[in-house]
Amino acid sequence: MKKHLIAILLISCFLLSCAGGDGSRTYTIPRGSPQIQKPYVVNGMRYYPISDARGFTQKGVASWYGKKFHGRRTSNGEFYDMYAMTAAHKTLPFNTYVQVINRENNKSTVVRINDRGPFVRGRIIDLSHSGAKEIDMVGKGTAEVKIIALAREIPGTSSRTVVEIKNWQKGNFTVQIGAFQEKKNANNLANRLRVLFDYVNIMKTVNENGVTFYRLHVSKAANLTKAEANEKALKEMGFDEAFIVRI
């Protein structure tokens, strides 16, 4: 436990030193642009959209948005329709279809990601009114949910690249806790995490815009239950945007 607390303090200091800014709102999500998958900043926090949703699962709190935003532009340039089956997510690729399961009543729905958000700590997805209605969370406003990536629609075509995992409970899983454009920053954090975890890996990726990222993966698990426990532990250490990926 002492070792765990020391590591949390070290990592917390690292995160604070990298955050910068005064906490004022900086909203730089490009709208209606071919570059909408680029990193963006909201409230001083930088987000790195992932290029591939294959094997993506996530647990957390869902919320929904409605009339106030109906007819406004979404982050991918569409007009928000509260009656369509869509949702906002901070990092999933646009046009990814996800299954959202309400863990409180086991109801589920499928929505398409076309917006960014929600930018409230602890919340992982913002559903349209219709999406929220399907899993019976409109009245309550929020619900504990699980997200599973299903497919990605290719704009301008009728095809979808299926990324559904037939048996998503078994496999090799890790937890991504961050993405860095500077390899040095990824290495610094990785070295701190090796105090606690046997598996810490930096994966170099290049997105569709030719930008290089160093994605930091921590822990390895042979089933989703164990991976979810690792994800929970990392979130308790301050990595709020941690999510599970299949490797």
Give per-residue pLDDT as tens, 18-31. 332 222 222 333 34
Residues 6+ apart with CB under 8 A from 89: 96, 98, 113, 115, 116, 117, 124, 125, 126, 147
* Both tokens assigned to 167: 């048996």
Q: Which domains does the chain have, with CATH numbers?
A: 2-21+169-246 (3.30.70.1070), 51-162 (2.40.40.10)
Judge contact between 205 and 51, C-beta under 8 A. yes
The mean per-residue pLDDT over the stretch 161-189 comes to: 77
Quote the pLDDT of residue 26.
Answer: 28
196 falls in which pLDDT band (50, 70, 90)? confident
The mean per-residue pLDDT over the stretch 10-39 comes to: 39
Handedness of CA 84, 35, 40, 208 (dihedral sign): positive
Residue type, 182: E
How remote is the C-alpha of 169 from its chain's centroid? 19
- The 10 Å Cβ neighbour count of residue 6 is 12
Give per-residue pLDDT as tens, 124-172. 999 999 999 999 999 999 999 999 988 776 555 555 554 444 455 667 8
Distance CA 87, CA 115 (A): 6
214 φ/ψ sector (left φ>0, alpha ψ -120 to 50, else beta): beta
The upper half-sphere exposure of residue 43, i.e. CA atoms within 13 Å in the direction of its Cβ, equals: 6
Quote the pLDDT of residue 167.
Answer: 54
Task: Please tell me the pTM assigned to this model.
Answer: 0.61
Residue type, 159: S
Give per-residue pLDDT as tens, 204-218. 888 767 788 899 999
Look at residue 11 and tell me whether its pLDDT is greater than 80: no
Handedness of CA 176, 178, 179, 182 (dihedral sign): negative
Percent of the chain whose predicted confidence (pLDDT) is above 70? 77
Distance CA 72, CA 212 (A): 32
Residues 6+ apart with CB under 8 A from 20: 44
- The 10 Å Cβ neighbour count of residue 150 is 19
Judge contact between 54 and 149, C-beta under 8 A. yes
